Amino acid sequence: MGFSRTLGQAATGGVLALALLAGGCVSPAGPVEAVRFVSPDRAAELGRGPIRVIAGEGMDSAALEYRSYATAVERELERIGYQVLPVGARDATGVQTATVRIERSVLSPVADDRSPVSVGVGGGTGGFGSGVGVGIGINLGGRPKDRIATQMFANIRASDGTVLWEGRASVEAKAGSPMAETQLNAAKLAQGLFTRFPGESGATISVP
């Protein structure tokens, strides 16, 4: 659909922006940058009723790191009014689905030098909205890397499969700092992604 294509273009711009930040002087943990797209015809269905959270294609739903991000998303969904169903809950009519995917990269002080990192995922790469993740483990080979960029991708689908909402949130943190760790940046990314949900379609926000 149209806003899915626009979402992919926004992700490309976000990657370029992160590469530029890697070559400059930035704070130990930057603000979360988030962009959301909302279905213009079915926005009224958002923020209410039952919903289940599932891993994006290529992600390992049982991985501890991934579960940290999924749990942070579940908390935000409950905060905005959803009834989050437990993992393995029986299918029922009218249940929406939130799909979550995480990508991490190590940023070198030299712009455009990015090494893929992974969080509970199986392999392969994909762009914004593709639902495909990257491999598992941090690649620290080669020159020292000094910043970790983490991106959270999510979409919400109606029970009939229609995409009602899509979003991406990203944050950078100095390698080895608390904000580069899973528990802290999972909560920060989820908060940024769902701030003022569903958000103004196509607008980028910055959440401290």
Query: Within the chain, what is the greatest distance between any pair of CA atoms?
Result: 52
Name the H helices within the chain: 2-22, 64-79, 182-194
CA distance 97 to 167: 14
- The per-residue pLDDT for 58 is 81
User: How far apart are alpha carbons 166 and 202 in whole angstroms?
Assistant: 10
Half-sphere exposure of 34 (CA within 13 A, CB side): 28
Query: How far, CA to CA in Å, does 61 sit from each of 68, 69, 92, 127, 157?
Result: 10, 10, 21, 19, 18
Instruction: Please check whether residue 49 is in contact with residue 96, taking contact to mean a CB–CB distance below 8 angstroms.
Output: yes
d(CA 21, CA 112): 10
Domain ranges of the chain: 2-199
> pLDDT by residue (tens digit) across 65-87?
999 999 999 999 999 999 999 98
pTM over 0.85: no
Q: Using N-to-C axis directions, what is the helix angle for 182-194 and 64-79, rounded to 10°?
A: 30
3-class secondary structure, 174: strand
Per-residue pLDDT of the chain (208 residues; tens, 9 = 90+): 545 554 444 444 443 333 333 333 334 467 999 999 999 999 999 999 999 999 998 899 999 999 999 999 999 999 999 999 998 788 788 999 999 999 988 887 665 555 544 444 332 223 344 333 333 334 445 555 478 999 999 999 999 999 999 999 999 998 888 888 888 899 999 999 999 999 999 999 999 9
* Cβ atoms of 111 and 19 closer than 8 Å: yes
Helix (H, G, I), strand (E, B) or coil at 185: helix
Quick one: pLDDT at residue 124? Answer: 28
| Dist. CA 17–CA 12, nearest whole Å | 9
Q: Report the 10 Å Cβ neighbour count for 81.
A: 12
Q: Given this model, what pLDDT does residue 181 score?
A: 84
CATH topology of domain 2-199: Double Stranded RNA Binding Domain (3.30.160)
- Of 17, 206, 8, nearest in space to 107 by CA: 17
Angle subtended at Cα 99 by Cα 94 and Cα 100, rounded to the nearest 5 degrees:
150
The C-alpha torsion from 190 through 117 and 19 to 124, rounded to 10°, is -100
